[in-house]
Chain A
Amino acid sequence: MTRFVVVGHGMAGSRFVQELRSRDPGRRFEVTVLGAEPEAAYNRVLLSSVLAGSLTPAEIETVPSAWYAAEDVELRTGVEVAAIDRRHRRVLTTAGEHVPYDHLVLATGSRPWVPPIDGLVGDDGELDRDVVVFRTLGDCRAMLNRLSRVRYAIVLGGGLLGLEAARGLAGRGIDVEVVHPADRLMERQLDLDAGRVLARTLRGLGVRVRVNARAVRFTDGWGGGGRGLRLDDGTRLPADLVVVACGVRPSTGLAAAAGLETGRAIVVDDTMTSVTDPAIHAIGECAQYEDQVYGLVAPAWEQAAVLADVLAGGPARYRGSAIVTRLKAADVDLAAMGETDVDEFADDLEVLRFADPARGTYQKVVIRDDRVTGAIMLGGPETVGAVTQLFDRASPAPADRRALIFPGVVDAGAALDPADVPDEHTVCRCNGVTAGRVRAACEAGADTVAEVAATTRATTGCGGCRSDVAALLASRSTVEVPA
């Protein structure tokens, strides 16, 4: 029996195990999952909802423990791996136990990066008691536990996760400020103007935003015994809580120590297999495919499905993922995808833009070779679904580009005056009655809707055209006709 050992029980690892078992009805594989966190598998994407209070921690559990028993998968939580022994094909846990494998799947994810700012980390190497990262359910719980004592919170980092955390805290009535070193929020996804509109939207929701801001020290002595953050321009900001959301670093220590090729993450081929060792695979945030390291769940799940298929003998191959970034923050509708910070007047591009900053709207769609290759959709939610699918599927963009931003604008025509409705226009769908036939009935002496109905059957189906027939009648007569 082939032995699979999966290191990591997050979004990628737990998904992989489910994908593998769904392709393994005969239970040919012996599967062991080693998870460092003590929790059952949970949905990291929904942590912002837990922080915001719309979901409870129990509600974001992904796989019930009964599933593992039913599927004969050995799940060991709270077990950390210390080393990979490639020669003997086994891993060594920090508890000193050896776990042998035929195939090893590394789904170790990534760790929050804590910038070198004085005071965030104590002399013992641990985070200060008023400093948290926002990565795990444990982090989330820690934050929730202390919320009652927090009045001012600073979020370090104006990326996706930082903004979701900030919005969640603001929604709980906490005074929140985002301190961001770049010139705009979400600088990897947004252009300068979009960043500014987003900042304005967030301000309206109680989240202050400070860009081009570098924190230098988290200290005591803020008057009244409070604590605060000092910026490099001397600004002092009160802070009972500092949330560090400055990005993540792939967890590649095990792989690197075992001699696997790593760049920013573990280098894999299109079967999600290490280019160094065919018995070792990596998926999710710890995997690097063609120079890309993805930090979102959709690619991790695509990779999990590919690897499960490959290991079950299937033909699947990974070709990279199209990335759509979607901010999960109440009352902010933002999607960003593909190339967005482009030269709007480049000859090989079409760039559409509609901005209404006062109403929080900034929409930008980039078209290259008749395909949507990038977009920022902020505050104009109606066409997001359509634009996303065009981008995802590389489908041709609509001939009338306005349809990408303004829903319905292409169809909209001025409502016709009843007198101008052409004779061949169908008035009553249910009975196929045209305007011409209603007019003919009118000429033949019908004065009321009921009389038109008696001769044409118009209005006798769903009744929805009653007012149209009345209008047609009225347009033929000088007398007001009731509907």
Chain B
Amino acid sequence: MRPIYRGRNVPEAVRKPPVHTVAGMGTTATHCAYCALQCAMTLTADAGGRVTVGPRDFPTNRGGLCQKGWTAADLLGSPERLTTPLLRDDRSRPFREASWDEALDVVADAISATQAAHGRDAVAVLGGGGLTNEKAYQLGKFARVALRTKNIDYNGRYCMSSAAAASNRAFGIDRGLPFPLPDLAETGAVLIAGGNVAETMPPFMQHLTAVLDRGGALIVADPRRTATADRATLHLPVLPGTDLALALGLLHLAVADGHADRAYIHDRTTGFDDAWRTAAQWWPERVERVTGVSVAAQRATVAQLAAGARGRGAVILTARGAEQQSKGTDTVSALINLALALGLPGRPHSGFGCITGQGNGQGGREHGQKADQLPGYRKIDDPAARAHVAGVWGVDPGELPGAGPSAYELLESLGTDGGPRALLVHGTNLAVSSPRGHRVAERLAALDTLVVCDVVMSETAALADVVLPVTQFAEEDGTMTNLEGRVIRRRRAVAPPPGVRTELEVLTELAARLDCVAAFTADPETVFDELRRASAGGVADYAGISWDRVDAEGGVFWPCPSADHPGSPRLFADGFPTADGRARFVAVEHRPPAEDVDAEHPVYLTTGRVLQQYQSGAQTRRVPALAAAAPEPQVEIHPDLAGRNGLADGDQVRVVSRRGDAVGRVRLTTTIRPDTVFMPFHWGGDQAVNRVTNPALDPISRMPEFKVCAVRLERVGTS
């Protein structure tokens, strides 16, 4: 048995705070703390350390910021900031403050003891799509070589996984947008399936507004007439859980109405015949009955996309609405099939794209946090990939663990016989963001040890044995890969509060305490340079991207295999990175949602976001301006449905499914289908809609079905 290291001396070099600030006149050019649009901003720190935000021009946000961006610095000096490690021996007792040495010793001891008693896989790791590339990479490496556990996954499983799986099987690569965002503004027609960028990433709308201003088409498929759908030229009010049928119907019409690009299909793709055979069974009148989208609207959608394809271009985009279903991968495949049939991918101002959600949802899924992946988007079961990465890490490939379970399955296994007994959490508030929340809370409670790194006492941190306070965006250096696949720099504008460390430091110190033979460093640029070597030759090849280049060029698009490679803003012009260079149609068939409405649960529930909150809300709920603007979840209900349930505007309503319930405030609106309610997921406790949602998983991506389940409504009281 290995010795347990307590109070181990960590080399001074590891502790040295990294300084890579690009600051002049007290200002720092960086990007927003939140979503994947990664709006460029300038942070200005005054003598007292107070930081203010200003917008900065960049191709993505064009100088725009939403309220979240404007207030992004407000959490830096928040009284709710965690600034010292917290420990407790017993979860029934309150936390006590601890020194870093003590806290790290406790964690290292718990890891060693757990693994000694139950094996290496008894310690699990959950990461997040908000971590910088450096942290995401280091976390994956830590799991594989310091913990040597197969049990690592990340919250991107709840976010991008369906689109990623579908893109990989069609194009051989998964990059959210295959072109720079400004290309979108140049196109002639855009279809967004289940996305609400006007609410989730408002500056994105500028690119769509440009399309509209030129007389182009914007078509939005969504059960709600969202802020985005309201700006559209055509809104398709699809029944929750039927996006796949709609996509099949659009492909049917593309062919039947003579819009298919036969030459493109012949020259650049394979598999059309099989894909058509299933789409052929989805004639528009059948689709209308299943989806509620009229034949005329379906036909107009296809005609407008086809007109775009013949002119300035056409783009099909998906987001979580279409993806967060138990058939999300197939739904995205069906939309890719439509894009291929119209000949879009690889053409100017055209193509298929996925609107990434989390700040580093793109980079975070490329470098080894995913259960089945190694850095560079390599597959962990590929012997060549294992040999390459093991070489970079200086370990024997045979010692690398294999693929582990996906996030929700991992959560389900916590504390069970043979399942993990200790969990390290980085950059995710899974107690709020996971489906069937009651069950998740049970599983977390069954752990021997829960260690959470966070900036505030999130709902997940509050359940932990050890909480480690870590840096925020403006306090650290690193890189993020935005929704375009552009690697950009996050820059340090202020020093973190005393007592706060970066996760790179935490992992480095833990690795040392665990006597790990592989090298770990807390210097992010050094980590990035190692990431470049580890990703070299992979699909997501960062080998030629250096911090200096990112700084000098305003970002670099991957793949970028060498220092003299210009990067890859636009993909697919000359072929697809598949074995035969062709894109693949994938034949998919519609199926109903895992749970349909019935007499007891007669209403569909769909979930999503509001402008002022981000993800689980752990950060944004603690920003006073945002909390004031969106203090609680509002349940959107059509007046007809509200009337039948005795609900009035402002009432408290309990949304109840077979799995649990959540409480929110009624907001009457005619912008939602009368058979569906909407509740945002940014709140915890009894306001957490994910206590209600269904963990039915997509068979390929393992994405839970956040976007549709069956509920009933109960009135709690009046305001």
Q: Does A388 contact B (CB under 8 A)?
A: yes
Residues of A within 8 A of B670 (CB): 410-411
Question: Number of contacts between A and B (CB, 8 Å)?
Answer: 134
Most buried by B among A324, A410, A460: A460
In the assembled complex, B274 has its CB within 8 A of some CB on chain A:
yes
* Chain A residues, Cβ within 8 Å of B281: 43, 62
Q: Are B291 and A385 in contact (CB under 8 A)?
A: yes
In Å, the complex CA distance between A432 and B292 comes to 33
Seed contacts A64-B273, A396-B644, A461-B202; 20 additional CB < 8 Å A-B pairs: A45-B283, A54-B258, A55-B256, A62-B280, A63-B277, A298-B286, A382-B296, A384-B288, A388-B289, A388-B292, A395-B675, A399-B640, A411-B670, A411-B671, A429-B202, A430-B67, A461-B65, A461-B67, A461-B203, A464-B209
With an 8 Å Cβ cutoff, the count of chain B residues facing the other chain is: 52
Q: Does A38 sit at the interface, judged by CB under 8 A? A: no
The CA of A389 and the CA of B66, in the complex, are separated in Å by: 38
6 cross-chain pairs, A with B, having the tightest CB-CB distances, nearest first: A381-B296, A462-B205, A326-B285, A461-B202, A430-B202, A462-B202
A342 to chain B, nearest CB (A): 22
Are B67 and A462 within 8 A (Cβ)?
no
Asked if B70 is at the interface of the complex by the 8 Å CB criterion, the answer is: yes
Q: Which residues of B contact A111 (CB under 8 A)?
A: none
A432 touching B67, Cβ below 8 Å: yes
Q: Decide: B66 and A430 in contact? CB cutoff 8 A.
A: yes
Contact present for A430 and B296 (CB under 8 Å)? no
Given known pairs A328-B285, A333-B296, A384-B295, the reply for A460 and B674 (CB within 8 Å) is no
Q: Which residues of A contact B289 (CB under 8 A)?
A: 298, 324, 385, 388-389, 392
Kindly identify, within residues 187 to 241 of chain B, every residue whose CB is under 8 Å from any CB belonging to chain A: 198-199, 202-206, 209, 227, 231, 237, 239
| Inter-chain contacts of B231 with A (CB < 8 A) | 464
Contact with B along A50-67 (1 / 0, CB 8 A): 000011000111111000
Q: Is the CB of B640 within 8 A of A398?
A: yes
Interface size on A, residues (CB 8 A): 44
- Residues of A whose CB lies within 8 Å of any CB of B are 43, 45-46, 49, 54-55, 59-64, 298, 324, 326, 328, 333, 335, 381-386, 388-389, 392-393, 395-396, 398-399, 410-411, 429-432, 457, 460-464
Judging by beta carbons under 8 Å apart, are B280 and A60 in contact?
yes
- B232 CB to nearest chain A CB (Å): 12
Q: How far is the CA of A461 from the CA of B71 in the complex (A)?
A: 13
Cα–Cα distance between A277 and B257 once the two chains are bound (Å): 46
Rounded to whole angstroms, the CA-CA distance of A384 and B55 in the bound complex is 46
**What residues of chain B have their CB less than 8 Å away from a CB belonging to chain A?**
55, 63-67, 70, 198-199, 202-206, 209, 227, 231, 237, 239, 255-258, 273-274, 276-277, 280-281, 283, 285-286, 288-289, 291-297, 611-612, 629, 639-640, 643-644, 670-671, 674-675
**What distance in Å separates the Cβ of B612 from its nearest Cβ neighbour in chain A?**
7
The reply to whether B64 and A59 form a contact with Cβ atoms under 8 Å apart is no
Smallest CB separation, A76 vs chain B (Å):
21
10 A-B residue pairs with Cβ-Cβ distance under 8 Å, sorted by A, are: A54-B258, A55-B256, A389-B292, A430-B64, A430-B66, A430-B67, A432-B629, A460-B55, A462-B198, A462-B202
Q: Which of B203, B255, B258, B643 contacts A462 (CB 8 A)?
A: B203
Interchain nearest-CB distance for A206 vs B (Å):
19
Contact indicator A64/B640 (Cβ below 8 Å): no
Given contacts A429-B198, A457-B67, contact A385 B640 (CB under 8 A): no
Given contacts A326-B285, A385-B293, A388-B288, contact A432 B255 (CB under 8 A): no
| Pair A463/B294 contact, Cβ less than 8 Å | no
Distance in Å from the Cβ of B47 to the closest Cβ of chain A?
A: 23
Q: Does B283 contact A46, Cβ atoms closer than 8 Å?
A: yes
Q: Which residues of A contact B70 (CB under 8 A)?
A: 431, 457, 460
Are B274 and A64 in contact, CB atoms less than 8 angstroms apart?
yes
CB distance from B174 to the nearest CB of A (A): 27
* Residues in A neighbouring B203, C-beta threshold 8 A: 430, 461-463
A385 touches B274 (CB 8 A): no
Q: In this complex, which of A386, A430, A457 has the most chain B Cβ atoms within 10 angstroms of its Cβ?
A: A430
Contact B276 A462 (CB under 8 A): no
B256 neighbours in A (Cβ, 8 Å): 46, 49, 54-55
Highest count of chain A CB atoms <10 Å: which of B63, B65, B256: B256
